[in-house]
């Protein structure tokens, strides 16, 4: 495995060593999507997903498992072929960056919303009985027509309000509810974009990455356990297309989440009740409504 001189640094003890974070630093400084938000009277960058600083803190003992790439013949061969294309790919740096991409995708937060009044009404047809549960857990039932009509009328009046109010059922990570294609598509997109920006060499007209870069990306998918088998170029195109369709429909907002005495700005993707309540989420959102929170709406946690 070739180690390129541009990634060698002199440490505090005067010893030369490999710096494994050059790619991660470049990605965070030039590519990692973020928003500028006015929080507490000052502008702050809020990154979409885990930050490089948080990622490093999770690995205080370093990355000893990265040594495996030294013995990977496929990566060595790809490194030589990419060098012939004018790309000196440092596999150690790439390993750390890919590990970051995996964690960034898996640790994004998703807020699953409770049913809105409209969604509740749509499921209330032919109501003949109401159940009430008190704070003590005791349940009381009623078949009173007057009571049922009063409750339904109150719900209908609430549903007609112009400013909508939503409530969060629970907050989960993508790793808990995502499918394989979702994680694959974000990994493929992030790594393709990085290679394109970090190695600004001539590629085929309109191509984001070369054929060898695609081969590297798809091999790394398997190496990091995101795929069980070797994938083809066709799958690269499918995953990139999946990312574009999905990313266009996901709406991410910045929410101030209070944990103890600390208020933390957190990017959240809000998933409507209608999309997650029946089990498996359709991550393409095909023919499905999405969360269209208008200005003025509120979300309670």
At 210, list the tokens. 């070369």
130 lies in which domain range?
A: 117-161
- Residue 273 placed within a domain: no
Please check whether residue 295 lies inside any domain of the structure. Answer: no
Q: Are residues 157 and 192 in the same domain?
A: no
221-247 pLDDT, tens digit per residue, is: 998 888 888 788 899 999 998 888 776
Q: Closest Cα partner for 281 from 132, 178, 211?
A: 178
Closest CA to 133 of 123, 142, 124: 142
CB 36, CB 21: distance < 8 Å: no
| Rounded distance between C-alpha atoms, residue 121 and residue 123, angstroms | 5
* pTM flag (> 0.95): no
DSSP-derived secondary structure letter, 115: P
Does residue 46 sit within a domain? Answer: yes
How crowded is residue 23: how many other Cβ atoms within 10 Å of its Cβ?
Answer: 23
In this structure, the answer to whether residues 57 and 126 fall within a common structural domain is no
Query: Which DSSP helix (H) or strand (E) runs through 53?
Result: helix 52-57
Do 27 and 156 have their domain in common?
Answer: no
Report pLDDT for 79.
Answer: 93
Render pLDDT for 151-181 as a digit per residue (tens, 0 to 9): 777 777 766 665 567 788 888 887 787 778 8
Half-sphere exposure of 139 (CA within 13 A, CB side): 4
The answer on 147 and 94 residing in a single domain is: no
What's the mean pLDDT in 263-287? 70
Identify whether 267 is part of a domain.
no
Residue 268 within a domain: no
Residues 38 and 146 in one domain: no
150 domain-assigned: yes
Total structural domains in the chain? 2
Q: CA-CA distance, 172 to 258, in Å (whole number)? A: 16
User: Any idea which of 186-195, 216-225, 227-236, 258-267 has the lowest mean pLDDT?
Assistant: 258-267
DSSP 137: S
Range in 38-52, 79-93, 95-109 with the lowest mean pLDDT:
38-52
């Amino acid at each position: 495995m070739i180690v390129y001189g541009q990634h060698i640094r002199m440490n505090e003890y005067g010893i030369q060593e490999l710096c494994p974070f050059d790619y991660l630093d470049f990605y965070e400084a030039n590519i990692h999507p973020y928003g500028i938000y006015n929080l507490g009277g000052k502008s702050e960058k809020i990154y979409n997903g885990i930050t490089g600083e948080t990622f490093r803190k999770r690995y205080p003992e370093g990355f000893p498992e990265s040594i495996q790439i030294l013995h990977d013949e496929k990566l060595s061969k790809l490194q030589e072929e990419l060098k012939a294309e004018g790309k000196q790919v440092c596999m150690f740096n790439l390993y750390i960056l890919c590990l970051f991409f995996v964690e960034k995708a898996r640790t994004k937060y998703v807020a699953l919303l409770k049913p809105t009044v409209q969604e509740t009404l749509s499921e209330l047809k032919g109501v003949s009985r109401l159940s009430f549960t008190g704070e003590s857990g005791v349940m009381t039932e009623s078949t009173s027509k007057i009571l049922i009509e009063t409750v339904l009328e109150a719900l209908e009046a609430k549903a007609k309000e112009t400013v909508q109010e939503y409530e969060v059922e629970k907050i989960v990570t993508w790793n808990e509810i995502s499918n394989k294609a979702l994680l694959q598509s974000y990994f493929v997109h992030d790594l393709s974009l990085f290679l394109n920006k970090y190695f600004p060499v001539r590629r085929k007209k309109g191509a984001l990455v070369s054929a060898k870069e695609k081969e590297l990306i798809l091999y790394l998918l398997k190496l990091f356990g995101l795929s069980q088998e070797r994938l083809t170029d066709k799958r690269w195109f499918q995953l990139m297309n999946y990312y574009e369709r999905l990313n266009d429909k996901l709406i991410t907002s910045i929410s101030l989440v209070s944990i103890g005495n600390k208020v933390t700005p957190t990017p959240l993707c809000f998933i409507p009740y209608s999309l997650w309540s029946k089990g498996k989420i359709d991550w393409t959102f095909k023919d499905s409504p999405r969360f269209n929170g208008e200005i003025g709406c509120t979300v309670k946690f």
